[in-house]
Structure formats: structure tokens, C-alpha cells
Amino acid sequence: MNTWQGEGIWSDATESCAVQLIINPYGVSVLKNGKDFFFTKDEFRVVEASESGYVKLEVERASLKAFITIESLEAWQTIRADKFDKNRKPLLSVSSWIIVGLVGALLVVILFFTVGADALSGAIAKLIPVETEAEFGKAVFQQVTSQAKINKDSACVAILKKCATIVESFSNGRPYKFQIVIVEDSIKNAFALPGGYIVVYRGILDLMEHQDEFFGLLGHESGHVYLQHGFKRIIRSSLVALTFAMLFGDAGGMTAILLDNSRALLNLAYDRGEETAADTFGFNALANTGASTYGMIALFEKLHQSHGEAKLPAFLSTHPDTKERIEELKKKSPKRSGKVFLSEQEWQTLKRKR
């Protein structure tokens, strides 16, 4: 338990005097002129504070209102440890915050139509830590896979972890920790979520003959992650609401807004530009490792041939404009052979249905 005991100066409308103080996780106890007062965390707030140990508290209860000043580094450390420094007095009144919020929202709208929603959401996405981004992807991942039949064979899981490590080496500066799973379902597709989640369906794995095709798929899906396509969409759909939350210092509100909009990914398909960018990212990532880059083309050709066999939700729909994308990839002089990441036994383990 973090507790501090010492002296402070009490100041109210009628007097200023020395008082004895005890600060603990439950609040602040004040001994003043032989009388004890106890203020819960809801009855006081930090008005000023500095790393030197100067602290100014405001206490308020019914008709009682006073300030307590303390000169103690230990007191400040206790206040921070007990998280009382979060009880800071607002710098502006509610009406002032409303005005600031409206001005901020107006600025967002102006930026939206001048700089562009894509550029604005992209700039914001880069400022958010990878760990935070992963939390939003995880929320959707758990929702999608909660009712799915995930391949949990230990040998398969170990190989997918190896594949995740390989995909992490494709990094463009964002240090994602990938999680790759196989869902035992005949859907011929795969998808990626913010933060490093990749879901591969058995249906698309059954189309593959060589591991080059599998890594072509992982290269493409990891491109969506590294280029933050899904996360940018979440931010883009939340811009105005996020502005109000940021202006009011409501971190919890920001999280709730992003989580709510994360679920919108279930009803969205990436557009042509995003798909092409993910193709290019995956192609270049594989080329940089010395692996074959033709597997991506081979897989897309098979997907093109099987397109239309099943009606899928938007976020699982077979990637659009496949034929044109194949032609674009062929212009990049793909390598038909190169470094292999898995042994033949490991590849066949992934191919086996469970």
C-alpha cells in the first residue's frame, strides 16, 4: 500500500495554517486544529504538480472548499503511485470544452476535405503504438474465430509460428507479432486484421500445390497489416468522434470508439488500390528474402478460376480485379524458384486436414 504522512499548508476563505496529512490509496486525511477530515478520491483533485515535489490539491465538500500545498517529493510519488494525479482539475469549463470540441471537429472536417481522409487517417495510424493497434485486431479476431473450427494440432501450430516469424522479417519498421491460424472450412480465402492476425481457410489451402503459393498468400496478407489498411479504415470512420474524445482527454472513450468501428471490418472488403499495394508489398518482401515470387501469381490464377463458386461475406470475398492484378505482377519479372522456408514434411503437415 502506498502511503505518505507529513505536513502541508491549508488555505481556505478564512484562514491559512499548517496541517498534518496522510495520503493513502483511499484518499487524503487532514488533521487541522485538532479536527480530522477525510477526503475521498472523488472529493479532491490535483491542481498543480511538479517533479520537484510541489503539489497543490483542491478539496471540496458541500460548502467546504480549500487548497492544500505540499513540498515533498515522496508525497508526489505517493500521489502518482495511487493514481491520484489523474484527478486533475479541468483547465476549461464545460461550455468552453464544447466550443473547443466544435472548433476541433470543424478542423477535422476541413482537413478531411483538403488533406484527405486517407492521408489524415494514415498519419494518425502511424502515431499509435503497435501494441494498441493489435488490441483492436484481437477484438475482431476473437469475434470471427469464436465459432470457427481452428486447427489446433500441435505440429501445425508450431509450423505456423515459424511462418509468423518469417512474416515478421518482412517488417517495414512496424514490429508486429503475427499470429496465423488455419480454419477448417471450405471457404477459398484468407484475411488479415490490424496488429498481425492472419486467418487462412482450408479451402484456399487445398488449392495450393507448393509452399511458394502459401508464402505468396502470407506476403499479400501481411502487406495489409504492414500498410495498416484495416487500421486506417477504423480510424477514417472514427475521425470526428475521435477528435472530441482527444480534446476532452477521454482515453477510454477513444478506445471504445475504435473498438466499435473495428467491428465494421467484418462488413468491408479492401478496395483495388489497397489490394494492389498489398500485392506489391508481398512480392517485394519475398524477393528481398530470395524466395520465389511466382507462387503469388500461381495462387491468384487458381483463385481467378474458382471465383464465383461460393457467395461470401464482403470481408471474405475473393479479392477483386484478380486478372488485372495477375498481369501487373507478371510485369515485375517474378522468380519461379528460390529459397524455401519449410521442409517438405512441414508443408505436407499444413496441407493435412484435421
- For 165-200, write each residue's pLDDT tens digit: 999 999 988 899 999 999 999 888 888 999 999 999
Among the residue ranges 116-120, 171-175, 334-338, 341-345, the one predicted with the least confidence is 116-120
96 within some domain: no
What is the percentage of the chain residues whose pLDDT exceeds 90?
A: 33
Same domain, 16 and 162: no
For residue 109, pLDDT over 90 is answered with: no
Cα separation values, 229 from 93, 118, 265, 271, 281, Å: 38, 10, 10, 10, 12
Same domain, 182 and 37: no
Place of cell 488455419: 182
Question: Quick check: 1 and 27 in contact, CB under 8 A?
Answer: no
Domain range for 22 is: 4-86
Q: What are phi and psi of 21, to 5 degrees?
A: -125, 150
Same domain, 68 and 135: no
256 within some domain: yes
Question: Quick check: 215 and 169 in contact, CB under 8 A?
Answer: no
110 within some domain: no
Range 309-329 average pLDDT: 60
* pLDDT at 314 (0 to 100): 41
What is the percentage of the chain residues whose pLDDT exceeds 70?
A: 76
Give the best-scoring range by mean pLDDT among 121-135, 225-239, 291-305: 291-305
Instruction: Please give the full DSSP string across 216-260, using - where no structure is assigned.
Output: HHHHHHHHHHHTTHHHHHHHHTTHHHHHHHHHTT-HHHHHHHHHH
Boundary (domain end) residue, out of 36, 57, 86:
86
Residue 139 grid cell: 477484438
109 within some domain: no
Residue 108's SS3 state is helix
Boundary (domain end) residue, out of 35, 60, 86:
86
Beta-bridged to residue 235, according to DSSP, are none
The radius of gyration computed from the CA coordinates of the chain, to the nearest angstrom, equals: 28
Q: Given its phi and psi angles, is residue 334 left (phi above 0), alpha (psi -120 to 50 degrees) or beta?
A: beta
For residue 148, pLDDT over 90 is answered with: no
8-state DSSP, 318: P
Nearest residue to 262 (alpha-carbon basis) of 228, 234, 232 = 234
Range 87-92 average pLDDT: 47
In this prediction, residue 317 has a pLDDT band, given cuts at 50, 70 and 90, of very low
The per-residue pLDDT of the chain, averaged, comes to 80
CA-to-CA distance for 95 and 193, rounded, in angstroms?
A: 39
98 within some domain: no
Instruction: Give pTM, 2 decimals.
Output: 0.62
Check which CATH number belongs to the domain holding 29 and give it.
Answer: 2.30.29.30
Residue 116's SS3 state is helix
Number of domains in the chain: 2
Cα angle for residues 318, 310, 315 (degrees, 5° grid): 40
Range 127-137 average pLDDT: 85
Range 106-122 average pLDDT: 61
Higher-pLDDT residue of 255 and 279 is 279
Residue 114's SS3 state is helix
Boundary (domain end) residue, out of 41, 63, 86:
86
In this prediction, residue 313 has a pLDDT band, given cuts at 50, 70 and 90, of very low
8-state DSSP, 51: T
Same domain, 208 and 301: yes
Place of cell 478542423: 107
* pLDDT at 91 (0 to 100): 42
CA-to-CA distance for 252 and 255, rounded, in angstroms?
A: 5
* pLDDT at 159 (0 to 100): 97
